[in-house]
């Protein structure tokens, strides 16, 4: 096996680093130009703050159309925020009344999902930074205009850069998704190692799958936004990226459908070479996908890659030995499992080979799957924006309302605490050079606080550790050199890395942004190093306040797990229905080929419905898994129904996998035998929470043996899902409505 791509290579060839570079240049340029040319550093700083708040929206991997609209909204709403905050900044009573209200209002924007959350943070950020220096009168008007100019500059700058470098953006989004897919394939290979604990492997697989679906969704929204239209410049590059994405998703579908009874395989054939060869095949495929991902990010063609032909032929040989030894007759279902594994691995290997050809200069300009030609736009996520989403969440059982209240209370506590501490320090004549900065404490609070308790606590520790490391690093830099040009270069590098780590490492962001801010203050006032201690103390106070306030009206994940479980079961049921309809239609057209005329469009629609349902169930599963693992990070006494929820996680994964495996087999049958039809009806009833009559036996002659296993797994999974869902049913208080509170808790949406 060849060397795997290092995490450092992944990072520097990802859209995270490229996006961080774009953001850093756009934020620093106003300050460097205005300060460097006209020597008006204060104006440059105001413009840079306006640009920085718009840059918050410009996250790597986000769809260009949504980002442009949201950035424009951030410019307008941010300007309004600067004006209002500036008006009250010189009036203590007005400030104490207005700032918490603004904090509450902006925090409610989280009902609109990720883009709404970014908009909320951008407004809270510019509100906080405007508090840094009170302004009034003509000075306020100029401050608002400078901030507006900075925001507009970044908006125009980012729009131009994204339009010019659209290909680079698509390639890097694809690269990140491909790396996540390679990690998933690597995690799946561990199931074929009989010496590895299956439960551990399963937990690793679920996390890898959730991460992969997230990255593939980002790539989908990037690649499918701008489709080839024929005759336009760049269509060849768009088609290569599109074909690569389609095959990446096809590989995912193939591998998920490969889910089999690994416990049985480990028990029946623990030392079989088939398992070793299957594991090695997946490891090679994982390495190949990594190379494809790296070459895609570099805009290079894949030259050398591993071949899995030897392993696949070895599996074929082993299966032939099983037939000759009588194992196939003695254990028909185990043998059928192995045949299914071989078919899926062979299909996956072909897909990976085809993915490599998409990176070639002479790659085909035809769509790799013509059935998707007119339907790709249906796979793009849509974001719903209604004012009613805010008003319907103005109630105590909404996590967004609770979060907004916590932010407002935390701001009030911060204002009181900072004023009391400053008053006490001044009266006691303690540390006369030290002054606590309320705006920095508020900034720390809004950066740390999130709707979920576990994420708030996690970010609290990371922010504190990152700030401490950043302060120590800054002090070391100031001790080693006082050259302004060198300090400016370090500031630029820190800014780039600070933005690049936003979606990768919160602690990394805290470290480099702390260094960046301290360097900026040092360049403005070189004689003072007390700012390091001030920032560290401010951060400690902010972390304490954020942690304490996170216990006020917290939203515990168990409150929402039941709704997510129902959504996942519903998604699986729709996936099952769409698959059965597609298989029935294929058989019907095969039996009556003369009636095919006019029904091709119906078959295409059924195929699209099946694919869309599959995408929806992947996203629902990822949402559920992410919430489950967030709950696991909460205090033990706040974790409820953990065994049932964990079993639902496992059984829904099994059900999804076996539906994907069974539908092609059902479509290939000439007719559906009675036992198999009864099994399908039983699964249908169980997923609707109805009683079902299970078949006493299933037909296992010939190819039907391959179908028997997924059907048994589907029935068993459906039974267990129904059983665990009943165990989760608590008595609901009258009038409680949990629908609108589910709008977006950082969840991905596939509608």
Express each pLDDT in 621-650 by its tens digit. 989 998 998 888 888 888 888 999 999 998
C-alpha distances out from residue 428 to 8, 234, 416, Å: 51, 69, 18
Could you tell me the two tokens for 362? 């002479």
Residue 672 Rama label (left phi>0; alpha psi -120 to 50; beta)? beta
| CA dist., res. 249 & res. 270, Å (int) | 31
Instruction: Yes or no: say if 547 and 460 are a contact pair by the CB < 8 Å rule.
Output: yes
Q: What integer pLDDT is reported at residue 746 of this predicted model?
A: 36
Q: What integer pLDDT is reported at residue 431 of this predicted model?
A: 55
Angle at 16 between CA 10 and CA 17, to 5 degrees: 80
Question: Which of 225, 241, 229, 220 lies closest to 163 in space, CA to CA?
Answer: 225
More confident call, 745 vs 686: 686
Q: What does the DSSP assignment read for 173-199? A: HHHHHHHHHHHHHHHHHGGG-TTS-HH
| CA dist., res. 106 & res. 390, Å (int) | 11
Question: Which of 108, 64, 61, 66 lies closest to 744 in space, CA to CA?
Answer: 108
Read off the pLDDT of each residue in 35-64 and give the average, rounded to a whole number.
84
pLDDT at 229 over 80: no
Task: Please state, for a pLDDT cut of 90, what percent of the chain lies above it.
Answer: 37
Q: What integer pLDDT is reported at residue 380 of this predicted model?
A: 62
Q: What integer pLDDT is reported at residue 231 of this predicted model?
A: 52
| CA dist., res. 127 & res. 120, Å (int) | 11
Q: Model confidence over 323-379: pLDDT tens digits?
A: 888 888 888 778 888 888 898 899 999 999 999 988 887 666 676 665 555 555 565
More confident call, 715 vs 532: 715
Q: What integer pLDDT is reported at residue 490 of this predicted model?
A: 93
More confident call, 461 vs 363: 461
Could you tell me the two tokens for 508? 């990394």
φ, ψ for residue 677, nearest 5 deg: -60, -40
pTM (2 d.p.): 0.84
What band does 515 get if pLDDT is binned at 50, 70 and 90? very high
- Output the average pLDDT for the chain: 84
Instruction: Yes or no: say if 534 and 475 are a contact pair by the CB < 8 Å rule.
Output: no
Angle at 284 between CA 282 and CA 287, to 5 degrees: 110
Q: Which residues pair with 555 in a beta bridge?
A: 452
Question: Which of 349, 357, 360, 316 lies closest to 250 in space, CA to CA?
Answer: 349
Who's near 239: CB < 8 A, 6+ residues apart?
Answer: 228, 363, 364, 365, 366, 367
Q: What does the DSSP assignment read for 132-169? A: TS---HHHHHHHHHHHHHHHHHHHHHHHHHHHHTHHHH
Q: Model confidence over 687-710: pLDDT tens digits?
A: 999 888 888 777 767 667 778 888
What band does 148 get if pLDDT is binned at 50, 70 and 90? very high
Q: Model confidence over 76-93: pLDDT tens digits?
A: 999 999 999 999 988 889
Question: Which of 90, 83, 18, 26 lies closest to 53 in space, CA to CA?
Answer: 26
Q: What integer pLDDT is reported at residue 169 of this predicted model?
A: 85
pLDDT at 508 over 60: yes
| CA dist., res. 124 & res. 77, Å (int) | 11
| CA dist., res. 247 & res. 250, Å (int) | 5
Q: What integer pLDDT is reported at residue 546 of this predicted model?
A: 93
What band does 457 get if pLDDT is binned at 50, 70 and 90? confident
Q: What integer pLDDT is reported at residue 76 of this predicted model?
A: 93
- Lowest-pLDDT range, 143-157, 486-500, 578-592? 578-592
Question: Which of 435, 419, 441, 408 lies closest to 540 in space, CA to CA?
Answer: 441
pLDDT at 749 over 50: no
Read off the pLDDT of each residue in 250-263 and give the average, rounded to a whole number.
78
Q: Which residues pair with 452 in a beta bridge?
A: 555
Angle at 378 between CA 374 and CA 383, to 5 degrees: 150
Most confident of 35-49, 395-409, 422-436: 395-409
Q: Model confidence over 177-188: pLDDT tens digits?
A: 999 999 999 999
| Per-residue three-class SS string for 479-535 | HHCCCHHHHHHHHHHHHHHHHHCCCCCHHHHHHHHHHHHHHHHHHHCCCCCHHHHHH
pLDDT at 597 over 90: no
Could you tell me the two tokens for 737? 């409505």
Q: What integer pLDDT is reported at residue 1 of this predicted model?
A: 47
Handedness of CA 59, 65, 68, 71 (dihedral sign): negative
- Lowest-pLDDT range, 57-71, 280-294, 405-419? 57-71
- Lowest-pLDDT range, 142-151, 551-560, 727-736? 727-736
| CA dist., res. 33 & res. 150, Å (int) | 12
More confident call, 250 vs 1: 250
């Amino acid at each position: 096996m060849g060397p795997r791509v290092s995490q450092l290579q992944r990072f520097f060839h990802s859209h995270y680093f490229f996006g961080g570079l774009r953001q850093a240049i756009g934020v620093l340029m106003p300050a460097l130009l205005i300060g460097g040319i006209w020597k008006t550093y204060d104006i440059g700083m105001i413009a840079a703050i306006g640009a920085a708040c718009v840059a918050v929206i410009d996250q790597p991997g986000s769809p260009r159309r949504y980002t442009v609209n949201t950035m424009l909204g951030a410019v307008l709403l941010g300007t309004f925020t600067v004006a209002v905050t500036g008006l009250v900044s010189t009036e203590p009573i007005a400030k104490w009344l207005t700032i918490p209200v603004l904090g509450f209002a902006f925090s409610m924007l989280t009902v609109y999902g990720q883009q709404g959350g970014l908009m909320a943070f951008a407004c809270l950020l510019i509100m906080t930074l405007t508090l840094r220096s009170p302004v009034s009168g003509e000075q306020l008007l100029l401050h608002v205009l400078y901030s507006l100019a900075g925001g507009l500059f970044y908006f125009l700058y980012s729009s131009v850069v994204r339009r010019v470098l659209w290909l680079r953006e698509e390639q890097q989004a694809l690269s990140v998704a491909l790396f996540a897919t390679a990690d998933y394939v690597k995690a799946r290979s561990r199931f074929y190692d009989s010496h590895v604990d299956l439960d551990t492997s399963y937990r690793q697989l679920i996390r890898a799958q959730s991460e992969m679906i997230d990255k593939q969704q980002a790539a989908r929204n990037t690649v499918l936004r701008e489709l080839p239209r024929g005759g336009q410049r760049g269509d060849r590059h768009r088609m290569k990226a599109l074909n690569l994405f389609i095959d990446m998703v096809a590989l995912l579908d193939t591998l998920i459908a490969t889910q089999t009874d690994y416990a049985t395989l480990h028990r029946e054939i623990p030392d079989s070479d088939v398992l070793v060869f299957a594991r090695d095949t997946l490891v090679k495929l994982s390495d190949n996908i990594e190379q494809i991902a790296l070459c895609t990010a570099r805009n290079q063609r894949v030259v050398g890659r591993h071949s899995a032909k030897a392993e696949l032929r070895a599996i074929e040989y082993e299966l032939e030995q099983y037939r000759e030894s009588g194992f196939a007759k003695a254990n028909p279902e185990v043998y059928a499992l192995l045949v299914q594994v071989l078919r899926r691995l062979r299909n996956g290997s072909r897909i990976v080979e085809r993915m490599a050809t998409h990176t070639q200069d002479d790659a085909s300009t035809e769509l790799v799957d013509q059935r998707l030609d007119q339907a790709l736009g249906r796979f793009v996520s849509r974001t719903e924006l209604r004012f009613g989403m805010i008003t319907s969440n103005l109630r105590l059982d909404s996590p967004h309302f609770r979060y907004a209240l916590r932010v407002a209370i935390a701001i009030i506590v911060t204002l009181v605490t900072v004023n009391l501490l400053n008053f006490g320090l001044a009266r006691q004549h303690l540390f006369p050079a030290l002054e606590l900065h309320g705006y920095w404490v508020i900034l720390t609070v809004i950066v740390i606080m999130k709707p979920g308790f576990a994420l708030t606590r996690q970010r609290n520790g990371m922010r504190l550790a990152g700030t401490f490391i950043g302060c120590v690093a800054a002090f070391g830099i100031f001790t080693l050199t006082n050259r302004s040009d060198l300090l400016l270069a370090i500031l630029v590098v820190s800014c780039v890395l600070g933005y690049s780590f936003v979606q990768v490492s919160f602690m990394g962001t805290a470290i480099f942004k702390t260094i960046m801010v301290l360097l900026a203050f040092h360049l403005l006032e070189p004689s003072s190093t007390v700012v390091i201690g001030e920032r560290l103390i401010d951060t400690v106070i902010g972390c304490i306040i954020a942690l304490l306030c996170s216990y006020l009206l917290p939203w515990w994940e168990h409150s929402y797990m039941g709704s997510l479980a129902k959504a996942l079961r519903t998604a699986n049921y729709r996936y099952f229905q769409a698959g059965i309809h597609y298989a029935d239609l294929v058989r019907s057209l095969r039996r009556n080929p003369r009636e095919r005329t006019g029904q091709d469009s119906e078959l295409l629609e059924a195929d699209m419905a099946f694919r869309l349902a599959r995408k929806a169930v992947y996203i629902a599963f990822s949402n559920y898994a992410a919430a489950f693992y967030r709950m696991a990070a909460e205090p033990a006494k706040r974790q409820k129904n953990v065994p049932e929820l964990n079993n639902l996680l496992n059984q829904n994964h099994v059900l999804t996998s076996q539906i994907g495996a069974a539908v092609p087999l059902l479509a290939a049958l000439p007719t559906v035998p009675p036992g198999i039809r009864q099994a399908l009806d039983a699964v249908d009833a169980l997923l609707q929470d109805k009683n079902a009559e299970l078949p006493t036996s299933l037909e296992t002659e010939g190819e039907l043996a391959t179908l028997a296993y997924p059907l048994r797994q589907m029935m068993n999974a459906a039974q267990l899902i129904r059983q665990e869902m009943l165990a989760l049913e608590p008595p609901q208080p009258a009038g409680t409505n949990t629908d609108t509170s589910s709008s977006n808790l950082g969840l991905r949406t596939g509608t």
